[in-house]
Amino acid sequence: MTIAIHESALIRHFNTRKEVLRAWEEKIGARFSPFRGFKMPDSRLYIEDSDFLDSIVDLIITNERHVFIRGPVGSGKSTLMLLALRDLPTLADRKGNKFITGYVGMTGLYEKQMASAIADSLRIKYRRSWESSQIIDAVAKESLRRYLEEKSRTALFIEDVADNQEAAFHKLRFLADLPTEEMIDAYAGALDEPIFTLVMSGTMIYWNAMLSFLPQIADRTEPLDVPPLNDAKAREFIGRRIAYAQGRIDIFNPENFDIYPYSEEAVKVINTSAKGNPRDIRMLARGCQQVAAENFRNSGNPEVNRNIAVLVSEAYATILKEVQ
Ligand SMILES: Nc1ncnc2c1ncn2[C@@H]1O[C@H](COP(=O)(O)OP(=O)(O)OP(=O)(O)O)[C@@H](O)[C@H]1O
Ligand SMILES: [Mg+2]
């Protein structure tokens, strides 16, 4: 009986909170919270850093190194991979080779799961009964054929690469080294460059792990640190999400948009505390929404001002410290 009373109080508390948030969203013409997490973020929400994206794509095209997109959790590694994946099939290298791309987004894979995921992502056929080394062999052969007959190099994107079983990780080494000595001998003259580029992502910890456990790949891999969002980009991040929630993203003008009910000062405070990390910007902006919604109920003003941003940032800093 007691439990039931407590439960209903709790439920009432959450329902009231939901109503408060809902009223704020309605006030600013939003259909949902601008800062909710999306499982599949809409590409119209992406802020592009064209210089950094170019540096990734250039590195792949020049074909000298594999790439490791390095950054803390939530810094935008996956987003950058998707942007590079979008651009690569439209480009060619200086020899006129085009690109065939594959993307492995799952992690925690065993050897055979990794081999199958790679083959699937590159649309290469194999039999379920095959061992992982046979599957990888088929991938190597088909990549060679695509290079020779279709003038296409293969670029394989692998997320959070070190979050897989070590044996799975080793499968990548073979692909990273293509063409093999045998292939070079068999096609004398036609194979004088790598035909398979790895584009991996991970944190600094995983990069260091790769340096010590897989130096053979690490030595030929360029780590690129994801740049943090500057204040202008953080402002656009917030502006786009508000426009999206208002159903106005298709008429969003990056040259001229407003961020009401967030103040300019509030955005600067948020971005400073988030250190330009988009995931943290989103969390802080959402925290600000909650405080602003309470204010709105009491005073009728939905604004997210500097004070709110400072309050929320300090609260988050405390929580993060306690977690660590
Ligand atoms: N350039 C960007 N423009 C807009 N939103 C972004 C951008 N980069 C990242 N985000 C958003 O920030 C969040 C984290 O981004 P993402 O998943 O790309 O980071 P990550 O570094 O891959 O994180 P993890 O380490 O958790 O895999 C997502 O909600 C994503 O949509
Ligand atoms: Mg990611």
Tell me which CATH code domain 50-225 carries. 3.40.50.300
Q: State residue 91 phi and psi, 5-degree precision.
A: -115, 170
The response to whether residue 276 sits with its C-beta less than 6 Å from ligand 1 reads: no
The residue with greater pLDDT, 170 or 264, is 264
Ligand 1 centroid from CA 261, angstroms? 24
- Half-sphere exposure of residue 50, counting CA atoms within 13 Å on the CB side? 0
3-state SS assignment for residue 191: coil
Residue 304's contacts (CB-CB under 8 Å, 6 or more residues apart) are 261, 262, 263, 266, 285, 288, 289, 291, 292
Q: Is 10 exposed, middle or buried (0-12, 13-18, 19+ CB in 10 A)?
A: exposed
Q: Which atom of ligand 1 is nearest to the CA of 45?
A: 4
User: d(Cα 317, Cα 273) in Å, to the nearest integer?
Assistant: 8
- 11-20 CB contacts, 8 Å cutoff, 24+ apart: 17/290, 20/293, 20/294, 20/296, 20/297
Coil, strand, or helix at residue 103? strand
Per residue in 110-139, pLDDT (tens digit) is 889 999 999 999 999 999 999 999 999 999
The best mutation among 77, 78, 230 to test binding of ligand 1, ranked by most ligand atoms within 8 Å of the C-beta, falls on: 78
What band does 4 get if pLDDT is binned at 50, 70 and 90?
A: low
Taking only the tens place, the pLDDT of each residue in 214-223 is 888 899 999 9
Say how far apart CA 168 and CA 175 lie, in whole Å: 12
Contact in structure between 35 and 285 (CB atoms under 8 Å): yes
Tell me if 72 sits within 8 A of 229, measured CB to CB. no
Residue 233 Cβ < 6 Å to ligand 1 = no
Residue by residue, DSSP assigns 251-294 as G--TTS---TTB-HHHHHHHHHHHTT-HHHHHHHHHHHHHHHHH
pLDDT one-digit tens code per residue, 12-54: 777 888 999 999 999 999 999 999 998 877 899 999 999 999 9
Query: Which of 254, 260, 263, 255 is CA-nearest to residue 242?
Result: 260
- Ligand 1 atom having least distance to the Cα of 160: 27
**152-158 sheet: strands from edge to edge:** 98-104, 152-158, 196-202, 66-70, 221-225
CA 205 to ligand 1 center in whole angstroms: 18
79 lines ligand 1 (CB under 6 A): yes
Confidence of residue 2 (pLDDT cuts 50, 70, 90): low
**Pairwise CA distance, residues 212 & 131, whole Å:** 28
Would you say the CB of residue 41 lies under 6 angstroms from ligand 1? yes
What percentage of the chain reaches a pLDDT higher than 70?
97
Q: Residue 233: count other Cβ atoms within 10 Å of its Cβ.
A: 18
Does residue 10 surpass a pLDDT of 80? no
Residue pLDDT, tens place only, 261-311: 999 999 999 999 999 999 999 999 999 999 999 999 999 999 999 999 999
Regarding the beta carbon of 45 and ligand 1, being less than 6 Å apart is answered: yes
Helix (H, G, I), strand (E, B) or coil at 197: strand
Q: Coil, strand, or helix at residue 190?
A: coil
Q: Whose CA is nearest to atom 13 of ligand 1?
A: 279
Residue range 194-206: mean pLDDT, rounded = 95
Of all protein residues, whose CA lies closest to atom 14 belonging to ligand 1? 74
Determine the Cα–Cα distance for residues 83 and 101; give it in Å rounded to an integer. Answer: 12
Check if the beta carbon of residue 33 is closer than 8 Å to that of residue 63: no
**Residue 191 clears pLDDT 80, i.e. is over it:** yes
The mean of the pLDDT values for the chain is: 92
pLDDT one-digit tens code per residue, 49-78 = 999 999 999 999 998 899 999 999 999 999
Can you tell me which atom of ligand 1 is nearest the CA of 71? 21
Helix (H, G, I), strand (E, B) or coil at 28: coil
Which of 87-91, 200-204, 319-323 comes out lowest in average pLDDT? 319-323
Is the distance from the beta carbon of residue 279 to the nearest atom of ligand 1 less than 6 Å? yes
Domain ranges of the chain: 50-225, 230-323
Q: Compute, in angstroms, the gap from residue 58 CA to the centroid of ligand 1.
A: 22
Query: Six-digit token pair at 289?
Result: 């929404």
213 pLDDT more than 70:
yes
10-19, 27-36, 233-242, 311-320: segment of lowest average pLDDT: 10-19
Nearest 10 degrees: Cα torsion 140, 174, 199, 112: 80
Structure tokens at 103: 């993307």
d(CA 80, ligand 1 centre) in Å: 8
